[in-house]
Chains A and B, each alone.
Chain A
Amino acid sequence: MSSQVSIQDRCAIVGIAETKFAKNLEGSEKKLAVQVIRDALEDAGIDPSEVDGLSSYTMETTAEVEIAKNLGMGDISFFSQIAYGGGGGCATIGHLAMAIATGQANVGVAWRSRKRGSGPRPWSAANVGLPTPLEWTRPFGLLRPADEIGILTRRYMYEFGATRDHLANVALACRKHANMNPRAMMYERTMTRDDYMNSRWISEPLCLFDNCLETDGALAAVIVSSERAKDCKNPPVFIHSFGQGFRKESHTMVNYWCEDPMMGPAFACANQLWKNSEIQPDDIDVAQIYDAFTTLIPLSLEGYGFCKKGEGASFTENGAIELGGRLPINTSGGGLSEAYVHGFNLINEGVRQMRGTSTAQVPQAKSCLVTSGEGVPTSAVVFRRD
């Protein structure tokens, strides 16, 4: 290990920002993006002219050149985009950390800006461009992400005895945390187990509350070397470890054509993440786990090694994933109850937990796992603080 180049704790997040989250925000995705990047740099106390590294999702609609020219940035020396929708979130942070640790850039900005609340549902276009093997699924009426994950959910319940009560545990934990977070879209909307059980079906076994929100919003984060971070306004949130991965014979969302579809991309990503991490699953104080659908929580708990395969559903029992439990997750409300912006809100909430400024703060939290979309080629980071 000692001869190997490692990014462990070499870089830190020193600035974050986000717009309001709403069903409908004024302004274009471009306008929201440049505004939120300006605010994140302000939070870091770094002038936009110092930025030389940019990373975003391939689904981002604003090109790097547009970002740079709006913010008056100078020469850019590193830029990357990560594919597979919500799977790319933590990879924007990881790519910048690798670039900064290896001298390819000094100040990096990652962002996501999306008007999914007021814009069309991607699946509603006949020629939908999601990178799935559509030819084999859509003509049969498997039209939406909820249908695609519904198939995996039903199989998961069948194989491991998981129930709707387990999925409700996830929805209720996220909602409870959102009810503590004034920025969350569901801040004022409480939910009971009866509300969950009585909500309408979307794709059985998934009901309305198994699905994430539809949100307009934008977020950004600023990354510098840990050396440079000492001079910034905020306490540094170190990027301790980073992983990216997908497994053998993987498919995007419709991951039905591999040996064991119950073992998704998280398993491959986790191998890489923990291999280079001094912090292991048992040490993690709080986690922000990608929750486009409730099912992704048990699948990810297993993939990232918090329990054995098939035990993710029972892990959610007795308040284990709520504040005060064994592993509080999605402390801002997550994609299910704060906002769905391809998981970038999970990154910012991870930073707040390490700063000690979350509205559902885990006392003395020193490490936070953040994961990106499960069911698609994915990524994850471990944050830590001093």
Chain B
Amino acid sequence: MNDQLITQDGWLLPVVSEDSVAFWEGTRAHKLLIQTCANCEAMRFPPRPMCPKCRSLDCKWVESCGTGTIWSFVIAHPPLLDAYAKVSPYNVIVVALDDDRLIRLVGNLVDSPGATLGSLSPGKVEIGARVKVSFDRLNDEFTLPRWTLI
């Protein structure tokens, strides 16, 4: 629902749909919320209108414990969009959440809470590492979840 796709600094912003508004409201309040079926309690991601297990249209948003394990990652090198190229090489990780190992979030490992993309030396990332969520404010509307080593 945001028309803006990119910040003044050149960072891409999430293109929010009605299915995901609650997720981004959550991160703005420094909460990692996962869509959960109000009928059968199954968590699901990415957000969608219907629960694929019981077909209920009723959902709630449950705060994640905020910890997980690195499932996989890449180290991105140019060519990249300008803002990203400037901080490259940087990691992109996929985190399997402790709440439900099939909920896997794409994110970045950073060297401390609040630190930005590319702040961690690429050699420090490995599959299986334990991580914890932190939050990085991009602008008034968007705060991205990022991750630090536990």
**Residue from A127, A141, A150, A155 in contact with B84 in the complex, judged by beta carbons closer than 8 Å:** A141
Question: Is B16 an interface position by the 8 A CB rule?
Answer: yes
Chain B, residues 49-81, CB within 8 Å of chain A (1/0): the string is 000100000000000000000011111110111
Q: Which residues of A contact B80 (CB under 8 A)?
A: 141, 143-144
Q: Which residues of A contact B77 (CB under 8 A)?
A: 200-204
Q: Which residues of A contact B106 (CB under 8 A)?
A: 136-137, 140, 142, 151, 254, 256
> Is B75 a contact partner of A135 (Cβ separation < 8 A)?
no
Question: Is B42 an interface position by the 8 A CB rule?
Answer: no
Q: Which residues of A contact B71 (CB under 8 A)?
A: 155, 256
Question: Is A138 an interface position by the 8 A CB rule?
Answer: yes
> Is A151 a contact partner of B74 (Cβ separation < 8 A)?
yes
Whole-angstrom distance between the alpha carbons of A142 and B94 in the complex? 10
Whole-angstrom distance between the alpha carbons of A142 and B6 in the complex? 15
Whole-angstrom distance between the alpha carbons of A152 and B94 in the complex? 10
Question: Is A205 an interface position by the 8 A CB rule?
Answer: yes
**Residue from B46, B76, B144 in contact with A139 in the complex, judged by beta carbons closer than 8 Å:** B144
**Residue from A121, A140, A206 in contact with B108 in the complex, judged by beta carbons closer than 8 Å:** A140
Chain B interfacial residues counted at CB < 8 A: 40
> Is A158 a contact partner of B127 (Cβ separation < 8 A)?
yes
* A-B contacts besides A135-B20, A140-B108, A158-B127, 20 pairs, CB < 8 Å: A127-B15, A135-B46, A136-B45, A136-B106, A139-B11, A139-B142, A140-B106, A141-B108, A141-B117, A142-B106, A147-B76, A150-B74, A150-B76, A151-B94, A155-B71, A158-B72, A202-B77, A203-B75, A254-B106, A257-B103
Q: Which residues of A contact B108 (CB under 8 A)?
A: 140-141
Give the B-binding residues of A (Cβ under 8 A): 121, 124, 126-127, 133-144, 147, 150-152, 154-155, 158, 200-206, 249, 251, 254, 256-259
Q: Is the interface of B mostly helix, strand, loop or mixed?
A: loop
Give me the 6 closest cross-chain CB pairs, A-B, nearest first.
A150-B74, A155-B72, A204-B75, A201-B77, A135-B14, A203-B74
**Smallest Cβ-Cβ distance to A142: which chain B residue:** B92
Q: Which residues of A contact B76 (CB under 8 A)?
A: 141-144, 147, 150, 203-204
**Smallest Cβ-Cβ distance to B76: which chain A residue:** A203
Q: Which residues of B contact A155 (CB under 8 A)?
A: 71-72, 127
Q: Which residues of B contact A151 (CB under 8 A)?
A: 72-74, 92, 94, 106
B93 to chain A, nearest CB (A): 9
What would be 13 A-B contacts, judged by CB atoms less than 8 Å apart?
A135-B17, A141-B90, A142-B74, A143-B12, A151-B73, A152-B72, A158-B72, A200-B77, A202-B77, A249-B52, A251-B46, A256-B104, A257-B103
